[in-house]
Amino acid sequence: MLRKRLVAVCILAAATSGVVLPRYAHAQEVIDLDEEAAKQPPKKGGKAPKKGGAKGAAKGAGKGGGDKKAGGDKKAGGEGVDIDLDEDSPAEQGPVVAGQMTEEAAAAKKLFDRERWAEAAQALHRVTNGETGDDAGNKQLAQYYLAISLYRLKFYQASYAIFSVIADNKNHLKFKETLLWLAKLATQLPEPADIVERVGKYSDEQVARFDNDQQRDLYWQLNYMLGRYKYRNRQYEEAIRLFQKVDRRSEYYVKAQFFTGISYVQLRKSVPAVEAFQRIEKSLEEGVEGVEDEARMRDLAYLSMARTYYSASIRLDPETNAPSVDEKKLSAAVKYWNQIDVASEYWLDALFEQSWAYFMAGDYPHALGNIHTLQSPYFPNAFYPEADVLKAVIYFANCNYDAATIVVARFNKKYVPIKDELEKILKRFKGANQEEPFFKFLLEVREGKAQLDPKIRPIVENALSDRQLLRNIEYVRVLDDEMGRFKKAPPSFRGSSLGQQVEDSLKLARDLAIRQAGELALQRYQRNVDELNEHLRNGEKILIDITAAQRNLLDEKISKGQVSKAESKIYGVVKPDEEHVLWPFDGEYWRDELGFYRQVVESACGR
């Protein structure tokens, strides 16, 4: 499959500023599962306040981040100084003991035991607030029961706010018991609530308490969540160990296998990564439970295997930047891209990514045929500007300078105005504190109400439609629903001190969720603009090389990598197999031909 002079041809593409590898193909960026990026460092939010009640707890809810480190830093050229990065945060409480309850606390506990949740919550709140004169131990117990009461009232965010405070204090009397409720809350609040961060406060031993016949599902869920915490903190070996504890009978099994695969990719271990993705394929065939969209997950497994094999197939020499290619792994990548269903949302991605593999193999007819499909009128909203860059590189490699120049010229004519329009919108959100305005813009885009130029509307909609963004929007909706339930609560509850704190916690969580969603959407949009600018620059670099070639000033390494006429007769022709026949393209596209186009490539090089 590989040409003998593959390395030389790849040097040519490398000369055009690294366009040999598409952005998703690098080992660190192999798989996009619309989850939190492992490359991002953990958030640096401060510790949650250690005071009881929903208001005090709300500040710790919905925010990521581990504990900040302190001490021992040295100034450059100076003496060591001790710096307390948590000097404004309350110190962790030491162990306390619960003494005799006051009558008010005992009455509150009776209301709790009788499941009179609203009355119990208000009474317990008075205990945690210190209004009853109870000791610190009984305040902690009341805090725990208050969080449960709010959960039973379906005020999940307010409940989570308090459980977050408890989880942040390992000495809390109900620290261990809180883990169960965090798992329950994870089924009620979307992922952006960041319950994983609080589960990360617990150890293997504490999770192992649920390893029994009655709580086995909970045990698997917590191992998955703790594994996610380790993954986000780049502790990939630990994450894999935890994901492997999730049994095939668990609804979290497929997700755990995905993150196992990604973790191995981050460790640059392609073989066990592929094995993890293959386990997903096998489990889906065997009818594993708990998977909402089996077809999508199967295609995502194929896509992940293809990307992993492709990334593993190519290695760049650190000194010369010359690639070496593993033929078997490259062929395996192509095989898995081919298994993605035509009706899949990932099919166009697979076609585009596969084009790079065919390019690396010197199969230019196949690479150009895939690009021909991508640019068909059946996919008017497809946005693959890099495909034109690849097409121009292929023409350049075959000394078809006029064709390459035309491709770049058309590329610039189409995408420069698009870039200008995208940047015009971006300028509206420059400066600080633009997350909330951009969130409103995001909602307008999702609802089809945004004032957008028709030529950029599909691009903006696609950029702001990934699943991670949708989960953030869903989180805001969940908080709005909870606020709706609060407003329907009895006036005696809404008007109480606890009611005010529940309302405050919801407003704060919503503000944080909107800022987080807006920030993420802004990053997605900026990334699209940056990538388009990069493709435009690569197009200009190709034009520079074309000018140099026409003046016989082309770098020797690049010129040696170009395809001779003799070689193009071998690698540029289209040879159908027994199951296919050739049918000339007459300008009209047919749906059943999509994905089957091939383009003959003839070299114009002098050799």
Q: What is the 3-class SS of 61-120, one letter each residue?
A: CCCCECCCCCCCCECCCCCECCCCCCCCCCCCCCCCCCCCCCHHHHHHHHHHHCCCHHHH
Which of 284-288, 321-325, 395-399, 509-513: highest mean pLDDT?
509-513
Lowest mean pLDDT among 34-43, 227-236, 398-407: 34-43
Element (H, E) at 245: none
- CB proximity list for 200: less than 8 A, separation 6 or greater: 66, 226, 229, 230, 233
Query: What one-character-per-residue DSSP string does 396-450 give?
Result: HHTT-HHHHHHHHHHHHHHHHHHHHHHHHHHHTT-SSS-HHHHHHHHHHHHTT-S
At residue 323, what are phi and psi to the nearest 5 degrees? -85, 150
**DSSP bridge pairs for 44:** 65
User: Mind listing the pLDDT tens digit for each residue in 113-133?
Assistant: 999 999 999 999 999 999 999
At residue 30, what are phi and psi to the nearest 5 degrees? -70, -40
pLDDT exceeds 60 at position 27: no
Check residue 211 and give its pLDDT.
97
Tell me the pTM.
0.82
- Is 496:519 a contact under the CB 8 Å cutoff? no
Mode of pairing for the β-strands spanning 314-316 and 323-325? antiparallel
Question: How far, in Å, CA of 347 to CA of 337, rounded?
Answer: 8
Lowest mean pLDDT among 223-232, 321-330, 449-458: 321-330
pLDDT exceeds 60 at position 323: yes
Check residue 324 and give its pLDDT.
87
**pLDDT-based confidence at 78, cuts 50/70/90?**
very low
Check residue 104 and give its pLDDT.
97
Find how far residue 105's CA is from the centre of its chain: 46
Higher-scoring residue by pLDDT: 144, 91:
144
User: Mind listing the pLDDT tens digit for each residue in 515-551?
Assistant: 999 999 999 999 999 999 999 999 999 999 899 888 8
Neighbours of 84 (CB within 10 A): 10
**DSSP bridge pairs for 323:** 316
pLDDT exceeds 80 at position 55: no
Check residue 32 and give its pLDDT.
44
Q: How much of the chain exceeds pLDDT 90, in percent?
A: 68
Check residue 267 and give its pLDDT.
97
- H helices of 267-293, where? 270-285
**pLDDT-based confidence at 57, cuts 50/70/90?**
very low
Check residue 148 and give its pLDDT.
98
**pLDDT-based confidence at 436, cuts 50/70/90?**
very high
**pLDDT-based confidence at 596, cuts 50/70/90?**
confident
User: Mind listing the pLDDT tens digit for each residue in 458-495?
Assistant: 999 998 988 999 999 999 999 999 999 999 999 999 99
Helix axes of 386-397 and 364-374: crossing angle, nearest 10 degrees: 150
Please report where in the chains the tokens 């100076």 appear, as a residue.
Answer: 78
Question: How far, in Å, CA of 494 to CA of 124, rounded?
Answer: 16
Question: Three-class SS of residue 228?
Answer: helix
Check residue 9 and give its pLDDT.
37
Work out the angle at residue 279's Cα, subtended by the Cα atoms of residues 273 and 281, and round it to the nearest 5 degrees. Answer: 110
Mean pLDDT of 271-299: 94
Question: Three-class SS of residue 324?
Answer: strand
Check residue 300 and give its pLDDT.
96
User: Mind listing the pLDDT tens digit for each residue in 28-37?
Assistant: 334 444 444 4
Check residue 554 and give its pLDDT.
64
Find how far residue 243's CA is from the centre of its chain: 18
Check residue 582 and give its pLDDT.
64
**pLDDT-based confidence at 235, cuts 50/70/90?**
very high
Task: Write the CA distances from 482 to 138, 248, 330, 487, integer angstroms.
Answer: 29, 34, 50, 9
Number of H helices, E strands in the chain: 26, 2
Question: How far, in Å, CA of 349 to CA of 387, rounded?
Answer: 11
Domains (range + CATH), the chain: 1-35+230-379+563-607 (1.25.40), 39-64+96-202 (no CATH), 406-555 (no CATH)
**pLDDT-based confidence at 603, cuts 50/70/90?**
confident
Mean pLDDT value across the chain:
84
Question: How far, in Å, CA of 123 to CA of 146, rounded?
Answer: 9
**pLDDT-based confidence at 212, cuts 50/70/90?**
very high
- Is 265:31 a contact under the CB 8 Å cutoff? yes
Neighbours of 97 (CB within 10 A): 9
At residue 315, what are phi and psi to the nearest 5 degrees? -130, 130
User: Mind listing the pLDDT tens digit for each residue in 370-403?
Assistant: 999 999 999 999 999 999 999 999 999 888 999 9
Question: Three-class SS of residue 314?
Answer: strand
Q: Which residues of 583-604 are buried (b: 16+ CB within 10 A; e: fewer)?
A: eeeeeeeeeeebbebbbebebe
